[in-house]
Structures are given as structure tokens and as C-alpha cells.
Amino acid sequence: MIRPKVGVSKCLEFEACRYNAVMISNEFVRHLKDYVDFVPVCPEAEIGLGTPRPTVVLQTSGADNLELYQPTTDTVHTEKMIKLADNYISNNTELDGFIFKSKSPSCGLKGVKVYHKKSKQAVKASKGLFALKISEHYDLIAAEEDGRLNDFQIREHFLIKLYSIARFREVEKSNNIKMLQEFHARHKMLFYCYNQNILRKMGRIASNLEKKDIKLVIKEYAENLALIFSKVLSYKKRINSLIHMLGYFKEHITAKQKAHFLESVEDYRNSRISAFAPLAIMQSWTKGYDVPYLENQYIFEPFPKGIRFVTDSGKGVKR
Ligand code: SF4
């Protein structure tokens, strides 16, 4: 099984490196340690601020500039932080995902307060400086904050994206059009749930009728892969895809089986069960009725089953 490479803010389950020398407990990160290769980093400790340390903030003089500033020592650490981010990037050229600690002026992925240099008032919100550099560099990455990953739909989307990207890395390394076409074929139903227009475009790119250079083809495909995952999976589109897939079995299943499946889809629509329940029914049909095209689709197991929490039933998800 493939093991994605995932950056993580070190204070999440790895080290007591927060400004107050504590570690943050995070069940998801702890659980994920068995399935991914984490690359932990504590940007503030690694630029030499020590632990424990006086807090730092983001500040601006009003223009677009952003500084990492430590008020108690009256020191600006922007350049050191940018250098550290550059080093981290050059040591980790292939990164499939990143889990950031929220609200940190270094690691926060959104909504970090930026204070005006003179008035000391919060004037806008930004990413933390390290997170900003990481986001600017990696075009294709599953990046999220710890808190948002408590949400079932966001967590599921993160895992689908993470594992799809990790599988795509194999295609990138191979530089082989057949591998790209196989990747596309096996992800079709999964991508169908996300965006059918982009799916069709990706199909045209992978078929490469214009006989373009393979590197260019893979680059174009990667851009669209990033685009198709830019929005969280909508349950409505997922239901459409389940109904679409049902068409593959119309000559095989009985009216009773169809009714049972549709009941399961309704339960999913009403947040009583997760999408994996109707998908499991369908997956068993693909084997029993010999539908090889669907049997190999990643929609049935986009990431290892073991990662799903018991609480990941999807029950009561707000829609
Ligand atoms: S949020 Fe980032 S900088 Fe702050 S302690 Fe955690 S890893 Fe270190």
C-alpha cells in the first residue's frame, strides 16, 4: 500500500515545542502515523527561537509586506523563516500533503491576525509565514489545518486528495502515457463525483491524441488534478455518481437488489450512513457479476480502510 509523504506542524503529536512547551494531542495525526510518512517541522524552534519562547506575531506596515515579529525582544524573524521554508522545500521536493497547526503566525493556513506595525491593531488575516511559503511552492498538495480535520467531510476529502496525489506521483516518476491512462481510468468514478467537466478535460489530456511530449501532458494533467480537488466533495454529486454507476448493473441485478441499493442511497442522502455503505453493496456486485471496469475503481477504496475512524460513519453530517 502506498504511503503518502505528509508534512506536519511538529507540535501536533510529535514534540512539546509550542511557545509554552506543550504538545497538542491530535487523534487523527496519531492514527495516521501508521499509514503515512510524516515530515514534522517546528519552524519557530528551528529558526532558533527556543522552547519555551516569547510569542511572535505577524505585522505589516500597511502595504503588502508581512513580517514575523517578536514584540518582547523587538526582533524581526522574517528572513530566517523564509530561509527555513526554502530549506524545508528543497529537502522535501515531493510532498503529498501537509497538516498545519491553526492560528499560528508561522503555521496557520488561514485567518491568522496581522497587526499594523504602528497602531498595533489587527488589520487583516493571512496565512502564517511558513504556511504561506509552503502553499506558494507546492501546486499539488493536500493541505489542511488540525481543527478543520475534525469535520468528517473535510477529513474525507483530505484523505481522498492525499492518496490520489500520492498515486499520481508514481505516474509522474514513470513518465509513461500508459500509466497516466491507467491512473485516469481507475479514478474516473471518483473524479466523476467531483466535477464532470474537468473529468472530461483530463480524459482528453490523458488520451494525448495530439501526441504531445509526455512531460507536458503530465504537467497539464497535474494542473487539472489540482483543480478537480479544489472543492470538497459534494454529497449531491456523489449521489449522482452512485445512480450513474447503477446503470452498469441493470442487466445483472434483481428489482429487490436495486430497491435495497436505492434505500441505502436514501439513507446516505439523509445522513444516516456514510457513502461507503451503498458503495460496499456495489463493490460486492462488481465481483459477483464480473464487471471488471468498476471493480478496479478507486471510488470504492480511495484510501486504506484502516484510516476510517469508527466515528466516520457519516451519521448526522450537516448538509
Ligand atoms: S504551530 Fe508551528 S511554529 Fe508553533 S509550535 Fe507548532 S510547529 Fe512550532
The low-confidence residues of the chain, meaning pLDDT below 50, are none
Reported as half-sphere exposure (CB side, CA atoms, 13 A), residue 310 has a value of 0
- Would the pTM count as exceeding 0.85? yes
Residue whose CA lies nearest to ligand 1 atom number 6:
11
Please tell me if the CB atom of residue 77 comes closer than 6 angstroms to any atom of ligand 1.
Answer: no
Domain contains 192: yes
- If asked whether residues 194 and 259 sit together in one domain, one would say no
Distance, in Å, from the CA atom of 202 to the CA atom of 228, rounded to the nearest integer, reads 9
The minimum-distance atom of ligand 1 relative to the CA of 41 is 7
Q: 40 and 142 in one domain?
A: yes
pLDDT score at 318 = 54
Is there an atom of ligand 1 within 6 Å of 42 CB? yes
Rounded CA separation 260/282 (Å): 11
User: Does residue 314 form part of some domain?
Assistant: no
User: Given the CA of residue 108, which atom of ligand 1 is nearest to it?
Assistant: 1
Q: Is the CB of 43 under 6 A from ligand 1?
A: yes
Residue 47 CB less than 6 A away from ligand 1: no
The Cα angle at residue 86 between residues 27 and 125, in degrees rounded to 5: 60
Tell which of 123, 150, 177 closes a domain.
Answer: 150
Burial of 93 (0-12, 13-18, 19+ CB in 10 A): exposed
What are 233's three cell numbers? 466533495
Residues 132 and 167 in one domain: no
Shared domain check, 131 and 78: yes
Residues whose CB falls within 8 Å of the CB of residue 117, separated by 6 or more in sequence, listed in order: 59, 60, 61, 62, 67
* Tens digits of residue pLDDT in 187-200: 999 999 999 999 99
Q: Would you call 59 helix, strand, or coil by DSSP?
A: strand
Shared domain check, 59 and 124? yes
What's the domain range around 95? 5-150
Domain end position, chosen among 184, 199, 228:
228
- Determine if ligand 1 sits within 6 Å of the CB of residue 218: no
Number of domains in the chain: 3
Q: State the pLDDT at residue 312.
A: 59
Residue 189 and residue 135 share a domain: no
CA 229, CA 266: separation in Å to the nearest integer? 25
Residue 159 Cα to ligand 1 midpoint, Å, equals 23
**Which among 106, 127, 150 is the end of a domain?**
150
Residue 240 lies in a domain: no
Does one domain contain both 28 and 113? Answer: yes
Asked if 120 and 159 sit in the same domain, the reply is no
Q: Are residues 19 and 146 in the same domain?
A: yes
Cα(18) to ligand 1 centroid in Å equals 6
Is the residue at 318 inside a domain? no
Query: Model confidence over 62-114: pLDDT tens digits?
Result: 878 899 999 999 999 999 999 999 999 999 999 999 999 999 999 999 999 99
Establish whether residue 99 lines the binding site of ligand 1, counting it when its CB lies within 6 angstroms of any ligand atom.
Answer: no
Per-residue CA distances from 164 to 103, 189, 222 (Å): 28, 13, 11
